[in-house]
Each structure stands twice: as C-alpha cells, then as structure tokens.
Amino acid sequence: MSATDMTSAAVGAVAEREPAVEAARQRRFGPWPVLWALAPALVYLGVREVGLLALSWMAGRNGTSATDALRSWDGQWFLSIAANGYGGVPANLVDAFGRRSAETPLAFFPGYPTLVGWVHDLGFRLMPSALAVTIAFGVLCAYGLARLGKSIGGGSRAAGLLLVALFAGAPMGIVLSMAYSEAVFCALAVWALVFVLERRWIEAGLACAFAGLVRPTAAALVLTIGLAALVAIIKRRDGWRPWVGALLAPLGLLGYLAWVGARTGSWDGWFALQERGWASGFDGGAATVKFSLDVLADARSVLEVATVGLIVVALVLFGVAAKQRMACPLLVYTAGVLVMDLCSNGLMNSKVRLMVPAFALLIPVALALAKRKRSTATLTVAAVVLTGSWFGAYAVTAWGYAI
C-alpha cells in the first residue's frame, strides 16, 4: 500500500470515529449527566414545594400565616436558643404544663440552633437562617437517600429517587421545611448508615457523633454502629477502623447528656427534664396502646385517627422490611427509632413526627415501585405526597396541640 493510500485510510478511519467520539462527548458533557447529578435535589425540593403550597392554602383557610406555622411549637425554642443561647430564652416559652425553670431549655439539643446561630451571625435574619439550614441539610439527606436506594440489594437509581420523593412527601414531612431539627438529624443519620454499609467506619462514627448533638434519636444510630462495628471486629475485618468508629459514635450524645447532668446536678438531668416538662419517659408502649384504643373508640379528630393508622402502617412496613431481609444496620436503626417513639409516653400527637427519621421504612415501597410501570410509580408517589402534604399542613395550622 502506498503512502497516499495509507494516509487516505487513516483519514477515513478518523472520519468514521468522529461521530462516535462526538456522541460520547455529548453523553459525558451534555445536559443528562448534570440532570442526573441534580435529580435528588430537584425531586426533594419539588416535593417539599408541594408541601409548602398545601401549607399556604391551609394557613389561609385557618386564619394564620405560613411563616408562623413554620416556626411554631419547638421552632420557637430552637430560634430563641439560636439567637440568645440557653440562658436567653424568653420566659414566655414554657413546657407542656405551662411551667418554666432556668433548666427547661436544656431539653432541646444544641446541634440545630448552633448551626442556625452561625448563619445568623453572618448577618442574616434569624428565620431565614433557620430555614436555610433546614433546606441545606434536607438536600444533603436527599443525596444520602438516593445513594442508599441505589446501593442496597435490589436497588437502582430509580429506587433511590423514589425513596427521596417518598421521604420528602411523607406525613409530617412538613417539619423538613420548618425551624425544626429533623432535617439536620436525618441527613447525618442517612449518611452514617451509608458509611456503615460501605464499611467506612471513621466517617460513620463522626456522622453519628454530630447527630448525637442534634436529637436523642441518635441513640438508635449509636446502637447500630456499635453492633455493626462489633460484628466487624469479631470477624477481624477492616483492622482498627471499626474500633475507632464505635468509639466516636456516642461522643456527641453522651457529651450533651453529661453536660446537662452537670448543669442540673443530676446524672439523669435531661431525662428528668423530659419527665417533668413533657411527661415523656419509657413505658414499654402502654401509653401508645391506650391512646390508640381511646382514639379508635370515639374518633375525636381526623388527625388522631390518622396518627393511629400511620403507626399501624409503620409497623407493617417494618415487618415487610424484616421479611425481605433488609440490611441488618438499617433494620436495627429503624427498630431503635420506632421503639424510642412508640414505647414512650408524653405527647401522643408527636408520634408521626418522631417517625420521620425512620426513613428506611420506605425502602421496600421504593424498591417495589421501581419495578412497576412508570405511570404506576408516579401515581402512587403523587398520592403519598398529596396525602402527606395535607396531613402536615393540617397538623401545624388546624390542629391546636403540639406536634
């Protein structure tokens, strides 16, 4: 073959490759990878926007404002602590019995108000600062859920996005848009669980330690990481890392409980505050059973009846997850959250809100919907989002008791 023929052949080969190269370049740098990267955030924020629209409608119907609803109940405590510290909380904020002492604000964990205070110190107004923290950590949680739904057994990218949508639209998902600590805690919890499943022990321990400064529900996370690390140690996996992860995990929770104990002069100071101020303590579920039977007997309100129904749904979903042999860390964490919620007395109207961190209950639903037709999945998610948006909006605008 002559040099001219060889040159022509090479040029032809290059010309044939150019469309394929260009197509690959478009796939890599075109809009689809960007959309997939933004999908968890877009899905989460889109669903939460539906919830806020429902809140605005319900607020108008009930003669209140959406802004007041977003900072109601515990939100007032968190905002006051963020602005003034524990010692500067106004005296008009009282416990469930209308009482107040210098120690009462210590019942609220410091993680969320501290973050809000940092943003507020940058010169932003207090309420926007609180919502900015809530939204940012909600988006962070969405990415953790998307990763979890994709990586678990039988998971997929679609399952991850469905999990995000179901979580954002769940009953009492409204707290993910309020001056409440659930969004921050759920973000830290889901990433701690992702790290445990990926055997990234130090990251898991750190995420759990920070979660322990946000909500007492971190006890379920501490138990999960501790048991998972123990299994790894017994099986001689990952060297020294499980030891470090297990040691880091409880530091935040134990540290805050110890600090409150020192402030109150009693090792169980935080638990005593909960008992005195909100009649909240572990009773093995007796109060929840009594509440459920009473509600079903006289149907005092639609919210209370729905609360009992959602408790039953949560227990059924946990049974399904166990039957499907969901990953043990997810089962242990979810069981811990449910036990801490359903086996304590106190404010029964908070039961559904306190189940928000039990996001792993939604995994079987997401996995099942991912295998159905797109229309079926879309209609199901839409029904969940609309129902959950109504429930949350009703709870903070029409319902006159704490959530």
Instruction: Give the Cβ contact number of residue 33 at 10 Å.
Output: 11
Q: pTM for this one?
A: 0.91
Q: Is the dihedral of CA 194, 197, 198, 201 positive or negative?
A: positive
Quick one: average pLDDT of 166-170? 97
Residue type for 158, please? A
User: Using H for helix, E for strand and C for coil, what is the string for 162-218?
Assistant: HHHHHHHCCCCHHHHHCCCCHHHHHHHHHHHHHHHHCCCHHHHHHHHHHHCCCCCCH
- In three-state secondary structure terms, 282 is strand
Residue 36: predicted pLDDT: 82
CA distance 129 to 134: 9
CA gap 184, 214 in Å, rounded: 7
Orientation angle between helical segments 201-211 and 218-234, nearest 10 degrees: 160
Q: What is the pLDDT of residues 220-273, one digit of tens each?
A: 999 999 999 999 999 999 999 999 999 999 999 999 999 999 999 999 999 999
- Angle between helix 126-151 and 363-370 (nearest 10): 60
Please state, rounded to an integer, the average pLDDT across all residues of the chain.
Answer: 90
The pLDDT assigned to 63 comes to 87
Whether residue 15 is predicted with pLDDT greater than 50 in this model: the reply is: no
- Confidence band (pLDDT; 50, 70, 90) for 7? very low
Question: 344 φ, ψ to 5°?
Answer: -120, 155
3-state helix/strand/coil string of 314-334: HHHHHHHHHHCCCCHHHHHHH
Q: Is the pLDDT of residue 8 over 60?
A: no
Q: What is the pLDDT of residue 28?
A: 52
Query: Of the given ranges (31-40, 219-228, 356-365), which has the lowest mean pLDDT?
Result: 31-40
Lowest mean pLDDT among 34-38, 103-107, 148-152, 326-330: 34-38
pLDDT band at 30 (very low <50, low <70, confident <90, very high): low
Lowest mean pLDDT among 26-40, 94-108, 196-210, 384-398: 26-40
Residue 159: per-residue pLDDT: 95
Q: What is the pLDDT of residues 269-320, one digit of tens each?
A: 999 999 998 888 888 999 999 999 999 888 778 889 999 999 999 999 999 9
- pLDDT digits over 55-90, tens only? 999 999 988 899 999 999 999 999 999 999 999 999
CA angle 175, 77, 262 (to 5 degrees): 120
Query: Using CA atoms, how far apart are residues 401 and 300, in angstroms rounded to an integer?
Result: 13
**Burial call 323-362: b when 16+ CB within 10 Å, e when fewer:** eeebbebbbbbbbbbbbbbbebbbbbbbbbbbbbbbbbbb
